[in-house]
Amino acid sequence: MTEQGCFPSGTRFLVIAAALVIIIWGINQAQSALVSSLVAGFLAVLGVPLVQWLEKKHVPAAAAVLIVLAGMIAILLVVGVLVGTSLSGFSAALPSYQQRMQEEASGLTVLLAGQGIHVTDKVLLEYLNPAAVMKLAVDLLGGLGSALANIVLILLTVMFILLEASSFPVKLRAVLGDPRQAFPEFTKFVNDIQHYMLVKTGLSLAAGVLIWAWLTILGVDSPVLWGFLAFMLLYIPHVGSIIAGIPAVSLTLVQFGIGRAALVGAGYVVVNFTLGNLVEPKLMGYKFNLSTLVVFLSLIFWGRTLGLIGAVLCVPFTMALKFACENHKSTRWIAVLLGPEIPAGGVTPV
């Protein structure tokens, strides 16, 4: 293959770049529809192992799907009631938190004035306003609620995905014309995605429960809300655990002062360090061969494009892109760039 064939011409590059811009713009414009589909896919990935386990126990496929779907509905109802109640109570109390913060700002203004530093209450509230951070958390959960507004459609989509999951390999073999065709790379990729989502869900659930228990012990308002927020945001790599802790620490600062706020912050640090640095590497059992920089950039990109759901699923999206590039000779170099290091055998020439 000539060098000219290896690298696209300037015109071809511009066409590809323009096509990518149009695709990204279309994804952003269709965000509401795509988010519902992604939520359905996320729930389906979590449900497939349960359906397969029930089928191994000689439960008919349709009955297994209905059992798993009923379990999902029950969990969503319980979580929705608990989080909705906590969110309503917090929203109602938010004005009182803002009032308390204004009082604290006035006291801090007097203290600073005694030290010769003259600032106004307005300046302090503009730059040091925990209530604004807590309101941001409420808006974040409100955005998730809007994504789940089409819950009936989402659950129906999950049901059909689960019903079709077992027959998909058979259909793929029929399309390829080989009934004994095996897909080892694709099977490994699907298993990796499934394993990642299951482990991440289990760890996020454990973190949410531990945060809820710790905040309940310390007497912080709305512990269910902050536990659920921790559960959701711990899916987000690198920064999710930090973002999850800010509203709860800010609320504790307004409620009880800096001492108990430090205890809340310490609880978040211990939970996130234990689960993220000690437990998660052992449960994952392998690395996903993604560059740390690539994961962070994908978090920004998918978060901006698809909102909270895009940030939550940025790692599976990037893994899918890397898998697609690895299995095509002309794009294998992209997979190398997405990985953490150069493979031992070097880069295969294209």
Looking at the fold, whether 49 and 160 belong to one and the same domain comes out as yes
Domain endpoint, select from 179, 202, 217: 179
Rounded Cα distance, 173 and 188, in Å: 17
Residue 350, pLDDT score = 43
Q: Tell me: pLDDT of 185 over 50.
A: yes
Q: Tell me: pLDDT of 184 over 70.
A: no
Q: Tell me: pLDDT of 284 over 90.
A: no
Who has greater pLDDT, 213 or 14?
Answer: 213
Residue 265, pLDDT score = 92
Instruction: Confirm if 281 and 201 have CB atoms less than 8 A apart.
Output: no
Domain endpoint, select from 133, 157, 179: 179
Looking at the fold, whether 96 and 172 belong to one and the same domain comes out as yes
Q: Tell me: pLDDT of 3 over 60.
A: no
Which of 74-88, 149-163, 230-244, 260-274 is modeled with the greatest confidence?
Answer: 260-274
Residue 234, pLDDT score = 86
Count of beta carbons in the 10 Å neighbourhood of residue 298: 24
Looking at the fold, whether 112 and 139 belong to one and the same domain comes out as yes
Q: Is residue 6, in this structure, part of any structural domain at all?
A: no
Domain endpoint, select from 179, 197, 216: 179
Q: What tokens does 305 get?
A: 């494009």
Q: What is the pTM of this model?
A: 0.73
Who has greater pLDDT, 132 or 98?
Answer: 98
Rounded Cα distance, 275 and 4, in Å: 50
Who has greater pLDDT, 65 or 131?
Answer: 65
Residue 349, pLDDT score = 45
- Collapsing DSSP to helix, strand or coil, 313 comes out as coil
Looking at the fold, whether 134 and 227 belong to one and the same domain comes out as no
Looking at the fold, whether 256 and 314 belong to one and the same domain comes out as no
Q: Please state which of the ranges 179-188, 189-198, 307-316, 328-337 shows the lowest mean pLDDT.
A: 179-188
Looking at the fold, whether 81 and 198 belong to one and the same domain comes out as no
Q: Give the residue-averaged pLDDT of 130-152.
A: 61
Looking at the fold, whether 33 and 102 belong to one and the same domain comes out as yes
Q: Is residue 15, in this structure, part of any structural domain at all?
A: no
Q: Please state which of the ranges 167-171, 265-269, 298-302, 346-350 shows the lowest mean pLDDT.
A: 346-350
Confidence of residue 183 (pLDDT cuts 50, 70, 90): low
Q: Is residue 99, in this structure, part of any structural domain at all?
A: yes
Q: Is residue 222, in this structure, part of any structural domain at all?
A: yes
- The DSSP element (H or E) to which 314 belongs, if any, is helix 314-326
Within 8 A by CB and 6+ apart from 59, the residues are 67
Q: Tell me: pLDDT of 191 over 70.
A: yes
Residue 207, pLDDT score = 92
Q: Give the residue-averaged pLDDT of 149-162.
A: 81
Structural domain range at position 257: 189-235+242-284
The share of the chain scoring above pLDDT 70, in percent, equals: 69
Looking at the fold, whether 51 and 160 belong to one and the same domain comes out as yes
Looking at the fold, whether 69 and 205 belong to one and the same domain comes out as no
Q: Please state which of the ranges 15-19, 207-211, 248-252, 306-310 shows the lowest mean pLDDT.
A: 15-19
Q: Is residue 115, in this structure, part of any structural domain at all?
A: yes
Residue 137, pLDDT score = 62
Looking at the fold, whether 117 and 162 belong to one and the same domain comes out as yes
The Cα-based distances of 264 to 230, 234, 253, 347, 350 in angstroms read: 13, 17, 9, 48, 53
Q: Tell me: pLDDT of 121 over 90.
A: no
Residue 239, pLDDT score = 79
Q: Is residue 17, in this structure, part of any structural domain at all?
A: no
Residue 55, pLDDT score = 85
Looking at the fold, whether 113 and 251 belong to one and the same domain comes out as no
Within 8 A by CB and 6+ apart from 27, the residues are 34, 305, 306
| Average pLDDT, rounded, for the chain | 75
Domains: count for the chain: 3
Residue 348, pLDDT score = 47
Q: Is residue 13, in this structure, part of any structural domain at all?
A: no
Q: Tell me: pLDDT of 124 over 70.
A: no
Q: Is residue 210, in this structure, part of any structural domain at all?
A: yes
Looking at the fold, whether 39 and 55 belong to one and the same domain comes out as yes
Residue 117, pLDDT score = 66
